[in-house]
Amino acid sequence: MVGYGCAGAAAALEARASGADVILLERAGGGGGSSAHSGGEIYLGGGTPIQQACGFTDTAEDMEAYLLAALGPHADAGKIRAYCEGSLEHYEWLSSCGVPFKPSLWDSPSWVPPTDDGLMWLGENAMPFAAVAKPAPRGHRVTSEGYGGKVLMKVLAEAVERAGIRVHTDTYAGQLILDGGTVTGVVATHFGKTVTYRARRGVILTTGGFADNAEMVALHAPRLTGLGVTSDGGDDGHGIRMAQALGAGTARMSSAQVGITLIPGLVVRGLLVNAVGQRFINEDQYPGLLGQAALFKQDLAVWVILDEQAYEEVPVEERWGVVPHYAAETIEELEQEVGMPEGSLAGTVHEYNRHAAAGRTRTSPRTSAGCGPWNRPSPPSMSAAA
């Protein structure tokens, strides 16, 4: 096994459980990878005990319908189906390893909630998805202060140790060994020394992504070039290249999570508009989808338009330091300050409020999660943050 993040730990444990003699190779001084840096929010559904304890019913079919709609077009339908059909089993597997989830709901949009609540919405209750699949919150958060990835990896590492799996750290896998069309080993380096591993049954690569390899990013996902990267710093893509060198195929290399620095709690209380003052997505969708739409469709020229009351409603500690770039007394003044065409933002707000006044909101009537309409026709003071 090459790479000791969450995928490596899971594969190693399962291989061991099926009787294999496993060695985990890890380039860093210890396991963890980007998994240990992550929020520890794991997408699970189909009626997990945590969902049930929080009063939600869910099915694998609804989970699948949501993911197909949210990840499309061209989503990998086979993989999504397997992921959803296996979701309860995945939850049980994590639990059996000792991964903790608290049976309580954080009922407000967020990247990472400020509490240790174990369940959160990840856009399931936003339109148009709420009309496609019965909404249920599926973000399962590993119980932790702040980001849960560190707890996830600590618990999985304990399970790896209990299972007697050998871990060789500071060991960088550089090349796969091929014998007659079969991968039979790995050539690695350990403090400058070459170490050769012979695999009796196979080699599994779980080396993470390539976000830290600028050349690969430019080649496969050029739209992401030059943007900030969130990773453990070691996503050099070498594991992928080792496999490619033997002729392995790759898929979806251009896909990426776009972690735009918008505060979901602020966005849902306002309007998200482009450079010409037009809304381009429902503000209560999963923040990763907002980021993708902002980058791929609007070239990141986007603004969150808020009134003062909405801004104040979000506690300072949940604003992650975001402050307004512009403030004005009226929408017209604001659009002028930001440099939008005359009447553009004012037109958007007028239309939005006309629909809101008629009871047509962007929030599904089937849910109550806090994403109310933005229906304050004459805000005392407007501000824009981006």
**Position 28 contacts ligand FAD (CB under 6 A):** yes
Min separation Cβ 25 and ligand FAD, Å: 5
Q: Which of residues 330-349 bind ligand FAD (CB under 6 A)?
A: none
Q: Which residue is nearest to ligand FAD (CB)?
A: 5
**Position 41 contacts ligand FAD (CB under 6 A):** yes
**Position 234 contacts ligand FAD (CB under 6 A):** yes
Q: Which of residues 134-173 bind ligand FAD (CB under 6 A)?
A: 172-173
Q: Which of residues 42-71 bind ligand FAD (CB under 6 A)?
A: 42
Task: Please select the residue that binds ligand FAD; options are 12, 15, 26, 274, rule is CB under 6 A.
Answer: 26
**Position 37 contacts ligand FAD (CB under 6 A):** yes
8 vs 46 by CB, closer to ligand FAD: 8
Min separation Cβ 237 and ligand FAD, Å: 8
29 vs 164 by CB, closer to ligand FAD: 29
42 vs 130 by CB, closer to ligand FAD: 42
**Position 124 contacts ligand FAD (CB under 6 A):** no
Distances 277 to 16, 69, 273, 304, 384 between C-alpha atoms, Å: 56, 26, 5, 10, 11
Min separation Cβ 112 and ligand FAD, Å: 7
Choices 14-22, 24-32, 312-320, 323-331; region in contact with ligand FAD by CB under 6 A: 24-32
| Interface with ligand FAD (CB under 6 A) | 2-8, 25-28, 32-35, 37-42, 172-173, 206-208, 230-232, 234, 238-239
